[in-house]
Structure 1
């Protein structure tokens, strides 16, 4: 009996040992919630190692168990070299078998990898090694400003085409800082992007940007610094026309592949295809974000073919900067359908009769269903004395107006917009179905609940004609902008209490927004401030003496 009990115990022990040897290694469970980001705790070779052969195995040990698929996505080798990943618990071994001779390599792990509790790494890991006798020793430091929370990468390409066209992809820290070291001492085009899609590489639509000029890599004690402000990236393809057709005896509808930046009738030329005779264009209307209508100055014939082309030198761009090729040409046949579109107001902003806490430079934006023959009469008066306020009127297209006071209004004051509708006519003289007056009352912000700020933008780097100041929240949302005057001085009359970040850029093309540039095709970004300036706004305080220095 004792012999049988001994056999049973031995068998149970053997089974237990076997089960343990076959168990999957998992992180321990229980205890307080893990909020510590993972990091690379140990590397099997020292940073800066030289005289490495063509075959190499590098083992990284993590501080905790990590998502293995994240490592595969966020591991980068520059220049490109094939490798394999072998896992064992918290360790991964990267195996190379065909490294090139006399080459400095950079292996980097971006901040996109997570532990098993979803905590994302906050510091990238970088390892430099060489198959030659020495490392390339020059550096470029940088800071990336991004509107989104996503892993950030800097991309460096030699600016001189005579230099080997390597691409260095450098992961940045969570705060946007990056260091590109072990570089050849040459000039680089420096770009950056936010990896929103988590693929590890740049994709069209992700925020991106390019420094305003090439940067010369220097030894560590003289390493230059560069700042890149990410913006909307251009489409992967040129702007395209989806369709072009007549919709009546006077209207030609054009649909584009993306929303347009600006609308103008002066960029188009219309001609009778058979005789080559020019046909005047009377007006242009935006009927949707990606659709415009051209109104012909004379009736179109249903027996005639017409050709629409771009005026020489004209540029049509979408909201990301992608342009329509200047060689485009569209043929269509006219229609005999009479043009009877009635004129009426399509939309009004503000859409309420009374608006409280209005901005100190409020906007009245009115859109009609058809093009206008002339700009209607609009006034802005201060109540209760009905003092007239100087205003500026612009037409985004021929069927809308945008009205704004020339100067900032008084805080906590009532004003009235008044538009005369009786004399509003369409391009062909038809009366509007709206009669009487359009009235909107606004009450401006009480600035006693916030403060103001003022300062100057130094453009000694680049002789900038249009210097734009931007105010962001800590979450990178833009809450105010202002253009500096000819001497570089700016003032923002009101900001609610809180903490902000002040920035500036040179609006070279005067389009009112920052253009961040693209790598393909190469377009440098506009110059920006050396660094953003943190500010704190308190009620009834004026923050003064701020200087923002632009740099290329």
Structure 2
């Protein structure tokens, strides 16, 4: 008995010792698996003709999973009812597709999985795997290639749907709003390149849509759009370029809303250069003050009223250029708050000599007492200034002589500013510091090869516009007082000379105005001057 127990403990000791040794010298497992799944077979087989099945299975040599299938899978021609595809959320050695639609006769269908198929362990993708079948006697085999670019932005959007509509007796321009295309492709998320395979010969209209609703239809209020000016004939060896733009939204008034006791908001939609007018139709007492303001950087107007003594107000909103008139009635709300006067002194940080002090207010200004303003240079030297009320009556510009390295202090005593509701400010002060001349750089720019008129835009590192210059003829440009940073340049061909970028329109068959980007970033350093030539090649 003792020998058996002793043997048992010895055995356990040996097993534990081996286990500890195994931990100290555990194997690495070999090189990482970087091989994508391998296609084995499909039922029905790939390139089956006279296809009439409702279920498809595609087999692989290992467990696979499907990633971002909604974005990656392209079925062409598109199906009215989406097929049921598995696995989703799990792993399997096969993909199952259950077709819940009636397929068109004599048509080649392709299922391009993009980068959605990956092995279950290491996520190695099987790129652009296609399952192809035909409901007819043969597989269509023609191809088409091209590139999508953005009309105004440097980089094109990802996942742009590219579409071919067959031009036959039923084709009209309105088909892009109503019906899915004959063939569908996509640029996916890597390069703005599209490829069509398995096409039949014929005449087609080529378009592209940044399809925000994922419904294969063009919604001008949401989607960007691109089209070729002329139909294409397949087969062709040409490479096509599509210029993606957002159509200008037609003007429309939006129902106004009372947002405070003294303020009614009038939103609208449309091009930035179209601003409606508001006319109050309701007769008010002479003691009531009203004021209409355009909100900066928003497509909205604000109607101010004091005192807010009304039950309802009727307004007429119109755009004279468009001969469009809307009438609205706003009923008074008792649940909204009163607006109160607050002041904000701007700008902040180190200023350029082109900057000046600004007093912004939360409510419209009615009166200013300049005797309650004071401006000092280096804290003690009084400085002469002029006050200018902005047309919005929500900003007060303070003008004065300034130079590099100057420092100022602006003081406002109580009562310096009074709004239309009779409220006035408390004491407030702010210091302003101007940078040194050597803190900034200069860009000297010449442009070669342009067709005038043009719009030249200086951009920051995120392609936001810093400065705009309109040119009717060739001339050198100087951008000075530039902070050290990386900048960009673009030129807009202002073909109608209206001093702004014009987008395209599908029904009017107009393309967006042409835009050229300077190919390289421009580095501006402090106390440096750079001479740069922008050569535009068409």
Q: Which residue of 2 aligns with 1:468?
A: 457
Whether contact under 8 Å (1:122, 1:173) holds in the other structure is: no
Q: Which residue of 1 aligns with 2:159?
A: 152
Q: Which residue of 2 aligns with 1:108?
A: 112
Equivalent-residue separation in structure 1 for 2:119 and 2:163 (angstroms): 29
Equivalent-residue separation in structure 1 for 2:395 and 2:94 (angstroms): 63
Q: Which residue of 2 aligns with 1:535?
A: 521
Whether contact under 8 Å (2:149, 2:156) holds in the other structure is: no
TM-superposition CA deviations, 1:184-224 (whole Å, max 9, x none): 5433342336x7x9x89899999953338756546643332
How does 1:231-242 map onto structure 2 within 5 Å? 240-241=254-255
Stretches of structure 1 that go unaligned for 5 or more consecutive residues are 1-28, 316-324
Whether contact under 8 Å (2:417, 2:425) holds in the other structure is: no
2:292 to 267, 283, 286: 283
**Cα–Cα, structure 1 residues 335 and 103, in superposed 2: closer, same or farther, change >3 Å?**
closer
Equivalent-residue separation in structure 2 for 1:379 and 1:41 (angstroms): 80
Whether contact under 8 Å (1:424, 1:432) holds in the other structure is: yes
How does 1:369-518 map onto structure 2 within 5 Å? 369-373=362-366, 395=390, 397-400=392-395, 413-414=405-406, 426=418, 432-433=424-425, 439-443=431-435, 452=443, 454-456=445-447, 460=451, 466-472=455-461, 477-478=462-463, 481-486=466-471, 487=473, 492-493=479-480, 494=482, 496=484, 502-505=489-492
1:211 to 208, 226, 246: 226
Shift of 1:368: 0.9
1:228 to 227, 231, 244: 244
Whether contact under 8 Å (1:123, 1:174) holds in the other structure is: no
The structure whose Rg is larger is: 2
Q: Which residue of 2 aligns with 1:271?
A: 281
Equivalent-residue separation in structure 2 for 1:63 and 1:380 (angstroms): 80
Stretches of structure 2 that go unaligned for 5 or more consecutive residues are 1-27
Shift of 1:260: 12
1:546 equivalent to 2:534? Answer yes
TM-superposition CA deviations, 1:140-196 (whole Å, max 9, x none): 432469899995223436598527654354322534322243485433342336x7x
Shift of 1:90: 5.1
TM-score, normalising length: structure 2: 0.60
Equivalent-residue separation in structure 1 for 2:449 and 2:296 (angstroms): 41
Shift of 1:443: 2.0
TM-score, normalising length: structure 1: 0.59
Shift of 1:270: 0.6
Shift of 1:458: 6.6
**Cα–Cα, structure 1 residues 202 and 133, in superposed 2: closer, same or farther, change >3 Å?**
closer
1:141 equivalent to 2:147? Answer yes
How does 1:71-110 map onto structure 2 within 5 Å? 71=69, 74-81=72-79, 83=83, 85=85, 89=92, 91-92=94-95, 94=97, 98-110=102-114
**Cα–Cα, structure 1 residues 102 and 492, in superposed 2: closer, same or farther, change >3 Å?**
farther
Whether contact under 8 Å (1:153, 1:169) holds in the other structure is: no
Shift of 1:263: 11
Task: Name the stretch that deviates more: 170-179 or 115-124.
Answer: 115-124
TM-superposition CA deviations, 1:348-389 (whole Å, max 9, x none): 3334xxx23x568657554213213589999999999x9x9x
Indicate the SS of the match to 2:470: coil
Whether contact under 8 Å (2:39, 2:60) holds in the other structure is: yes
**Cα–Cα, structure 1 residues 140 and 379, in superposed 2: closer, same or farther, change >3 Å?**
farther
Equivalent-residue separation in structure 2 for 1:419 and 1:159 (angstroms): 71
Shift of 1:547: 3.6
Equivalent-residue separation in structure 2 for 1:156 and 1:146 (angstroms): 22
Name the count of aligned residue pairs.
Answer: 473
Equivalent-residue separation in structure 2 for 1:78 and 1:115 (angstroms): 25
1:243 equivalent to 2:257? Answer yes
Indicate the SS of the match to 2:105: coil
Shift of 1:492: 4.9
Q: Which residue of 2 aligns with 1:19?
A: none
Shift of 1:507: 8.0
1:295 equivalent to 2:281? Answer no
Indicate the SS of the match to 1:211: strand
Equivalent-residue separation in structure 1 for 2:377 and 2:460 (angstroms): 28
Whether contact under 8 Å (1:415, 1:443) holds in the other structure is: no
Shift of 1:310: 0.6
